[in-house]
Amino acid sequence: MITVMIVDDHPVVRAGLIGILSPEEDLRVVGEASSADEAVTAARTLQPDVVLMDLRMPGGDGVVATAGVLAAAPQARVVVLTTYESDADILRAVEAGAAGYLLKDAGRVDLVTAIRAAARGETVLAPSVATRLVNRMRRPASADALSPRELEVLRLVAKGLSNGEIGRELHISEATVKTHLLRTFAKLGVSDRTAAVTTALAAGHQLS
């Protein structure tokens, strides 16, 4: 059973989401919140598996709420569900630890599938959001362009650490580790961890 908490300041939206999720036998809505403060308090008590998070709310936006929820319920997977898809909003949400970013025009099947994927530890992005994220991070391939934090993450990759282990080592979320790796891949013109390490070593970086 996957437990879900819904955070949105519009009661009709929360009711609609509950209606969508209720027929699914493996999903159970365990709570609701209408603000960032309520979300953090509820997450601390309910410890949900997945949190559907609105981005624009009174008293603190969804990015602030995401960071607070993950501090209160570290095992939770936060999936932003919003009508906004600016580059800044997407990057802020991912860097705060969001495991996904979906738009409110998503179909029922897509939403349910995304919740299940997030609960399994996967990153879920609306197609348009994924495109924006890739375009935003795309840079000419250059090992010299790696930031100190990206090199730090890459050194731990070279040691064989998983994303979760790297996050614990650096005291950052696993989603933030993924963001650093995606940026590193884009800068190096590679598509996987092994190639990133190899390319960085070839460029003269010390990763040991």
Kindly report, residue by residue over 174-186, the tens digit of the pLDDT. Answer: 989 999 998 888 8
Q: Which of 135, 77, 68 is nearest to 101 (CA)?
A: 77
Centre a 10 Å sphere on the Cβ of residue 97 and count the other Cβ atoms it contains: 23
Q: Tokens 């996957």 — which residue?
A: 2
Strand (E) positions, 93-161? 100-103, 124-125
Q: Is 163 exposed, middle or buried (0-12, 13-18, 19+ CB in 10 A)?
A: buried
Tally of domains in the chain: 2
Predicted model pTM: 0.65
Residue-wise pLDDT for 95-111, tens only, equals 788 999 999 989 999 99
Q: Tell me whether residue 79 is in a domain.
A: yes
Q: What is residue 149's predicted lDDT score, i.e. its pLDDT?
A: 92
CATH code where residue 106 lies: 3.40.50.2300
Q: Are 143 and 200 in contact (CB under 8 A)?
A: yes
CATH code where residue 179 lies: 1.10.10.10
Q: Does one domain contain both 142 and 170? A: yes
Residue-wise pLDDT for 6-33, tens only, equals 999 999 999 999 999 999 999 999 999 9
